[in-house]
Amino acid sequence: MPELIEVELYREAATRAANRTVSSVSISTQKYLKEGTLLTDLQTAVCGSQLVSARRTGKLLLLEIGTAVIGVRFGMTGRLMVDGEATINGLLYTTSEVKQEHIRFVMNFDGGGTLAVVDPRSFGNVELNPDETSLGPDAMHISNENLDRLFTGSRATVKGVLLDQTKISGIGNLLCDEILWRSGLSPTRAGDSLNAEEIERVHRIIRSTIGLLTKRGGSHMGDLQSERHRNGVCPTDGTQLEQTKVAGRTSWWCPEHQL
């Protein structure tokens, strides 16, 4: 959290500030700038320029300001606020309350209005002109052929492939477990053990799950969510879920129908 779904909502919120001119930029601590980005460089690059547009690749929000691009990563608890209004109130692992000390980054505009990042646990960061080539295609737009290439010959687990942001971007832990549960695939399967029909199924379910959870309001709105605990059961067949560490992440899955 936040995953692709949340960052897309942040992107939509950021477009409300389009065509405004940046008057000043501030951060709570240099640590919130990604290594290599200096506040003075950031200020020089954007102050006096207009916010042209807001884009997104995976979980990375990209603000085009004049000729510069500011990349914002939201870590585990980051939220975007536009004009003092928080975008999402129901994020897991964080409170909806906004405390002044949790505001990490603020961009002020001529004539008023702000774009700010509130991030209680401070795992996110801001970067000037981020390298976008290190990210795989966005999960919402990846082609079946591309997904096929990712799995074929991969020694990583299915879950490991889907969480690898350099291969496919935007899927986090909650969305991944929900997608695999809906696909009937074990997270521990080797990537290259998937056949063409299974890959096509995952491709279809990635898109439908993102669409559905976006409508419901976030990546924590999956059907598996309320059962992600000890003694939790599969919502379709009632089998007790397994909890397994896969690709370094706690994974909940059904040993009955996820094969």
Q: Which residues bind Zn ion (CB under 5 A)?
A: 234, 237, 254, 256-257
Residue closer to Zn ion, measured from CB, 34 or 257? 257
Residue closer to Zn ion, measured from CB, 116 or 254? 254
At residue 243, φ and ψ (nearest 5 deg) are -115, 120
Residue closer to Zn ion, measured from CB, 23 or 236? 236
Three-state DSSP at 173 gives helix
Closest distance to Zn ion from the beta carbon of 177 (Å): 12
What is the chain's Cα-based Rg? Answer: 19
Closest distance to Zn ion from the beta carbon of 233 (Å): 8
Residue closer to Zn ion, measured from CB, 223 or 256? 256
- Chain centroid offset of residue 42 CA: 23
Residue written as token pair 């980054």: 105
Closest distance to Zn ion from the beta carbon of 10 (Å): 33
Q: Alpha-carbon torsion 38, 88, 14, 131, what sign?
A: positive
Closest distance to Zn ion from the beta carbon of 239 (Å): 5
Please answer whether residues 93 and 174 qualify as being in contact, where contact means their C-beta atoms are separated by less than 8 angstroms.
no
CA atoms of 139 and 133, how far apart (whole Å): 15
Residue closer to Zn ion, measured from CB, 227 or 256? 256
Please answer whether residues 239 and 253 qualify as being in contact, where contact means their C-beta atoms are separated by less than 8 angstroms.
no
Closest distance to Zn ion from the beta carbon of 180 (Å): 11
